[in-house]
Structure 1
Amino acid sequence: MKKIPTNIITGFLGVGKTTTILQLLKNKPENESWAVLVNEFGEVGIDGAFLTESGAMVKEVPGGCMCCTAGLPMSVGINALLRQKPDRLIIEPTGLGHPKKILAILQSENYKNYIDLKATIGLVDPRNLSDEKYTSNQNFNDQLNISDIVVATKMDMASDYDECLFHSWVKSLLHQPKSTAIDRGELPLHWLEEDRTTDLIIEEHHHHHAEQEIVEMVLEPGQKFCRKENKGQGYVSCGWFFGAESVFDFDELFSMLSALTAERVKAVMNTNKGFYAFNVANGVVSVNLLSIDGMESKLEVIDTQLLPWDQLEGVLLSLLIEE
């Protein structure tokens, strides 16, 4: 088979990776079929539902940094997608990891005859460059230091100062990547065709857990929902998985998500107004109606500290109007 052009799109939590990939899928050539391997820190796997809506071939690696789960799960996911002979493969690592080990696997003997590794694209919200919480985070820096192209996202919410700081910051990087700024995820397709140019040696700064298998989320007979927790890289997550028969009150759900102070919240929920995707970042709740029917509801909360999960679970259960 011919080598499949492959891009890694990386970036920290809430930077807009999934939004950017969705826009790329929307604008791809009509005669091409693309595949996406998506990795999430949380256990329940939500981004896959967003991306499946676009018609792409999607495989998920949930449950933590793909660097840590990169053995069997990543290889199984890549192999399954390559067997479908896509015209392009996009890999989205979790916002709490960096792509060094992923790059090593893609460049290994196993894939050298099957993958044409193109530019790694690192996304950054320029507003974060003024916040030491991000600039002092090693994963934040590693993701961008290994990128061939650095892209400033969410420019519609950035100030002139943020944009100026972004361009100044890119010039300060030792490997001098190409850079651009985009609004609402509109990354030009031609950036995907750029060749990989960055070959930096980055030290490992976080502990790698033992490689693990992906456990599919399935409810037992009579079980209404299940809850999964995860922790690593200074963050904790809690996710809930409800059966397709569960229906939530849309207005009350929106109010609950608006009140959450967690760093990151994502959900795909079956509501009395339809099946919706909810995305909470920087205190802003965005909502999109999905055309999917009969899907399970999933919600994931990520923060730097443990939150009252039992209390949040009680609120979620109180929003159910059908079971």
Structure 2
Amino acid sequence: MGIPTNIITGFLGTGKTTAILNLLKTKPADENWAVLVNEFGEIGIDGAMMTEQGALIKEVPGGCMCCAAGVPMSVAVTALLRTNPDRLIVEPTGLGHAHKVLATLTSSQFVDYIDLKATIGLVDPRNLSIEKYTSNQNFNDQLAISDIIIGNKVDQCHVSDIDAFNDWVTNQTPPKIFSQLVQQGNFPSELLGIPRRDSSPSSEVAAHHHEHAEQEPQFALEPNQTHVRKENSGQGYFSCGWIFGAEVVFQFDELFSVLSDITAERVKGVLNTTNGCFAFNVSHGVVSVNEMSLQGFESRLEVIDNQLLPWDQLENVLVNISTLSEK
């Protein structure tokens, strides 16, 4: 019998990582779970946020997981399966082609080792009325392959957004197995055990091209560097990520202010500050902050937007609001 596996998908900012963190917090104490994380950027923010929850984490950085599916994804999945986890969760990037991730997990390579359960798709109901999202092929594909639809961030939605979600779910053909409106990515862990619909992923997945170097190794700091940066682009989006050495400490209030002022579609980071280590998450102009117990951690920040931003200027600001702690 294969290892129970779920894909948890959704576009940028829908709360996939928060949902997985919630699931990890409530998993049975006697079970070992593994998580395969892919991010459009290059520095692995999500994996860093999950390290405290006791799951085995593997990351495929640098764009669509399906772009790297030929080697990196298969290697990562195989490595996780060899640890014989009780459950595997796969989180593709919000800009990923979910059809190809599904096709890989149901391929002959893994058919004897993976018991693929229902794919869970998260959506921010507000996005169902915004043409920028509804015209995006990845946005639609991610929801199309999802057996279960979770409308997240309902606490930030208007009545019209809720109506749009309910209308969208009602009009789906074939119908979804289950749907629910939630806050903070909190949905019942029992949903992970629901079998997926008896259907095969479409073989007619549109070809796509990226400018990012998905085959390059994940970058890291050199001994004499306090920070390093790397950029990525593809599918009409641009990302810039930074790693700052563990000795770099940011002024908390100034950092919060800077992140609040960034007019990008997605801002996510785990950073050492004068108040401790915190995970920062910015979506729809709202900054959420969660304290973490990490120590000696290299700070990471990723910014994603549909236009090229002044990365040099932002980097200078970040450097100016940080200090070097004594070793």
Normalised TM-score (structure 1): 0.96
Question: In structure 2, what residue type is equivalent to 1:120?
Answer: T
RMSD: 1.5
Alignment partner of 1:15 is 2:14: yes
Mapping 1:181-200, distance limit 5 Å: 181-197=181-197, 198-199=199-200
SS at match of 1:71: helix
User: 2:258 maps to which residue?
Assistant: 256
User: 2:167 maps to which residue?
Assistant: 168
Shift of 1:100: 1.2
Shift of 1:161: 2.0
Alignment partner of 1:90 is 2:89: yes
Contact 1:138 1:205 in 2 (8 A): no
Question: In structure 2, what residue type is equivalent to 1:252?
Answer: E
What is the alpha-carbon distance in structure 1 between the residues aligned to residue 39 and residue 280 of structure 2?
16
Question: In structure 2, what residue type is equivalent to 1:180?
Answer: Q
Alignment partner of 1:275 is 2:274: no
Gaps of at least 5 residues in structure 2 are none
Stretch deviating more after TM superposition (295-304 or 218-227): 218-227
**Identity, % of aligned positions:** 61
Contact 1:248 1:321 in 2 (8 A): yes
What is the alpha-carbon distance in structure 1 between the residues aligned to residue 215 and residue 201 of structure 2?
29
User: 1:73 maps to which residue?
Assistant: 72
Question: In structure 2, what residue type is equivalent to 1:141?
Answer: N
What is the alpha-carbon distance in structure 1 between the residues aligned to residue 28 and residue 159 of structure 2?
34
Question: In structure 2, what residue type is equivalent to 1:201?
Answer: S
Structure 1 residues 204-245: Cα deviation after superposition (integer angstroms, max 9, x where no partner): 345145994351332112112111000011100001111111
User: 2:236 maps to which residue?
Assistant: 234
Gaps of at least 5 residues in structure 1 are none
What is the alpha-carbon distance in structure 1 between the residues aligned to residue 83 and residue 119 of structure 2?
23
Question: In structure 2, what residue type is equivalent to 1:242?
Answer: F
What is the alpha-carbon distance in structure 1 between the residues aligned to residue 3 and residue 295 of structure 2?
32
Among candidates 311, 314, 318, match of residue 312 of structure 1: 314
Question: In structure 2, what residue type is equivalent to 1:193?
Answer: G
Alignment partner of 1:130 is 2:129: yes
Mapping 1:286-297, distance limit 5 Å: 286-297=288-299
What is the alpha-carbon distance in structure 2 between the residues aligned to residue 133 and residue 206 of structure 1?
21
Alignment partner of 1:243 is 2:250: no
Q: How many residues align?
A: 322
SS at match of 1:228: strand
Question: In structure 2, what residue type is equivalent to 1:24?
Answer: L
Among candidates 202, 210, 226, match of residue 224 of structure 1: 226
Normalised TM-score (structure 2): 0.95
Shift of 1:201: 2.4
Question: In structure 1, what residue type is equivalent to 2:200?
Answer: D
Alignment partner of 1:47 is 2:49: no
What is the alpha-carbon distance in structure 2 between the residues aligned to residue 232 and residue 151 of structure 1?
27
Shift of 1:196: 1.3
What is the alpha-carbon distance in structure 1 between the residues aligned to residue 288 and residue 180 of structure 2?
24
Contact 2:37 2:57 in 1 (8 A): yes
What is the alpha-carbon distance in structure 2 between the residues aligned to residue 297 and residue 225 of structure 1?
9
User: 2:99 maps to which residue?
Assistant: 100
Shift of 1:254: 0.5
SS at match of 2:110: coil
What is the alpha-carbon distance in structure 1 between the residues aligned to residue 201 and residue 103 of structure 2?
12
Shift of 1:74: 0.6
Question: In structure 2, what residue type is equivalent to 1:258?
Answer: S
